[in-house]
Amino acid sequence: MKILVVGGGAREHALVWKFRQEPGVSRVICAPGNAGTAADSNRPLDVSDPRAILALAEEASIDLTVVGPEVPLAQGVQDLFTASGRLLFGPSRVAAQLESSKAFAKQFMAAHRVPTARFRVCDTADEALDAVSGDQFGFPVVVKADGLAAGKGVTVAADRATAEQAVRDAMVEGRFGSAGHRVVVEECLVGPEVSFFAICDGQRALALPTAQDHKRAFDGDAGPNTGGMGAFAPSALVTAEIDARIRREIVEPVLEGFAAQGDPYQGFLYVGLMLTESGPRVIEFNVRLGDPEAQVVLPMLRGELAPVLAAAAGGYLGHSQLAQTRDPHVGVVLASGGYPGAYDTGLPIAGLAAAAALDDVLIFHAGTAVRDDAIVTTGGRVLTVVGRGADMTRAIERAYAAEARITFARKQVRTDIGRKAL
């Protein structure tokens, strides 16, 4: 099987790493890839152009295309592949609205009785200002830009002034472009957050290990939200009882809802959950694997992933299973200084070989490239260093032992990834 992985981050490197170990996979191409996915198999690609993705798949005689980021899915790449008779693992443009439109997701959940926070969809600034007045949801209150805003369109406002500023930023100042023309205002749920992942074929869901990530830039969950500064798996918070409720109350209604409207959901389903006193509640859906969660979840899989994804993309998982280890995995993100704000790029990275030589350590590249025979930084999140251990303490120790061996100017790292699991 020849596989094309679309994307260039650490999530995509983790997918490439997994596929390259599988005997049924003869070739893996990553587009555009990074320094970790290997120059001999990287291809230039505009991931926001579905037709360019299809052209590459046809040119390279690809058997299965796996999409990492959300943008091409939101733009209908799966529909284009289906019309061309090619296999792509990922949901249709309509189903991808679970992530690309907060309003669509909330209204879908309401229609199919999926537990989530109380909400109001607002098409004008006046509506949104009324919704954050405090009369409907109290404080804190959550203001979300409707569209894709690169993870920056959500504000948890502690008071009315902050909430009103979030509305003005999105709907008046246009801070998020067209993504903020509509907003969703919702109650602020309370409880620990966990991530639940499933491979879906339109009717059945095959669960992957659960995880918890660390969104804030600095230790102790301080500072601005980022794309994720680290993650660990599995989450001890997801007991057998909670797992059953997530499947019964959330995953199954989602699959049944899309199937009923003739648009079966086939792809990764990422459920971002708050475990409240009343049970699991959906904070958000993603229609692809999370990053950095993928970097700790994929190494826990012991079975072959490629044939499972191909079966799901074809609409029939059948009795597919994926063996999993219970050994904890901890992923620490090494970021550029200043991230998620302004940061420098082109900085040489040293110590990668020394870190990779350590036992039970994996290194996944994100914002990296090869220039003049050196690996340099090219993005805000540069690497994810993953440690595995017989328990969470050992996994944390191994991740940080490897992280310490890698250096580049102004390296930014949280020192408390995984500690909440202890």
Q: Which residues contact 24 (CB under 8 A, 6 or more apart)?
A: 1, 304, 306, 307
- List pLDDT tens digits, range 100-115: 999 999 999 999 999 9
- Region of 242 (left: φ > 0; alpha: ψ -120 to 50; beta: rest) is alpha
Alpha-carbon gap, residue 298 to 79, rounded angstroms: 26
Domain final residue pick, 313, 346, 364: 313
What is the reported pLDDT for 282?
Answer: 98
> Is 113 a member of any domain?
no
Domain final residue pick, 136, 158, 181: 181
Residue 241: count other Cβ atoms within 10 Å of its Cβ: 9
Label residue 59 exposed, middle or buried (CB < 10 Å: 0-12, 13-18, 19+).
Answer: exposed
Same domain, 280 and 374: no
Q: Which residues of the chain have pLDDT under 50?
A: none
What is the reported pLDDT for 280?
Answer: 97
How far, CA to CA in Å, does 384 sit from each of 11, 165, 230, 416? Answer: 9, 34, 8, 14
Same domain, 296 and 384: no
Same domain, 213 and 256: yes
What is the reported pLDDT for 273?
Answer: 97
> Is 198 a member of any domain?
yes
Same domain, 8 and 67: yes
What is the reported pLDDT for 286?
Answer: 96
Same domain, 294 and 349: no
What is the reported pLDDT for 164?
Answer: 94
**For every residue of the chain, which 3-state class applies, written as one string?**
CEEEEEECCHHHHHHHHHHHCCCCCCEEEEEECCCCCCCCCECCCCCCCHHHHHHHHHHCCCCEEEECCCHHHHCCHHHHHHHCCCCEECCCCCCCHHHHCHHHHHHHHHHCCCCECCEEEECCHHHHHHHCCCCCCCCCEEEEECCCCCCCCEEEECCHHHHHHHHHHHHHCCCCHHHHCCEEEEECCCCCEEEEEEEEECCCEEECCCEEECCEEEHHHEEEECCCCEEEECCCCCCHHHHHHHHHHHHHHHHHHHHHCCCCCEEEEEEEEEEECCEEEEEEEECCCCCCHHHHHHHHECCCCHHHHHHHHCCCCCCCCCCECCCCEEEEEEEECCCCCCCCCCCECECHHHHHCCCCEEEEECCEEEECCEEEECCCEEEEEEEECCCHHHHHHHHHHHHCCCECCCEECCCCCCHHHC
Residue 334: count other Cβ atoms within 10 Å of its Cβ: 25
For 205, the token pair is: 């869901």
- List pLDDT tens digits, range 53-73: 999 999 999 999 999 999 999
Same domain, 256 and 294: yes
By the 8 A CB rule, do 206 and 320 touch? yes
Domain that holds residue 73: 2-93
What does pTM read for this prediction?
0.96
- CATH number for the domain spanning 67: value is 3.40.50.20
> Is 280 a member of any domain?
yes
What is the reported pLDDT for 331?
Answer: 98
> Is 17 a member of any domain?
yes
What is the reported pLDDT for 153?
Answer: 87
Question: In total, how many domains does the chain have?
Answer: 4
Alpha carbon 61 to its chain's center? 28
CA torsion sign, 201 to 204 to 206 to 210? positive
- Judging by DSSP bridges, how do beta strands 2-7 and 27-32 pair with one another? parallel
> Is 254 a member of any domain?
yes
What is the reported pLDDT for 319?
Answer: 87
> Is 375 a member of any domain?
yes
Going by C-alpha positions, the residue among 378, 292, 368, 287 that lies closest to residue 72 is 287
Query: 60 pairs with which residues across the strands?
Result: none
- CATH number for the domain spanning 373: value is 3.90.600.10
Q: At 387, which amino acid appears?
A: G
For 226, the token pair is: 């980022």
Same domain, 302 and 255: yes
Alpha carbon 230 to its chain's center? 12
Going by C-alpha positions, the residue among 82, 114, 115 that lies closest to residue 257 is 114
> Is 119 a member of any domain?
no
Same domain, 266 and 355: no
Q: Which residues contact 179 (CB under 8 A, 6 or more apart)?
A: 145, 146, 147, 148, 149, 153
Q: Across the chain, which distance is largest between two alpha carbons, in Å? A: 60
Domain final residue pick, 289, 313, 337: 313
Same domain, 84 and 130: no
Alpha-carbon gap, residue 193 to 241, rounded angstroms: 16
Q: At 127, which amino acid appears?
A: E
> Is 151 a member of any domain?
yes
Same domain, 218 and 308: yes
Same domain, 335 and 289: no
- CATH number for the domain spanning 134: value is 3.30.1490.20
Alpha-carbon gap, residue 1 to 23, rounded angstroms: 9
Same domain, 410 and 333: yes
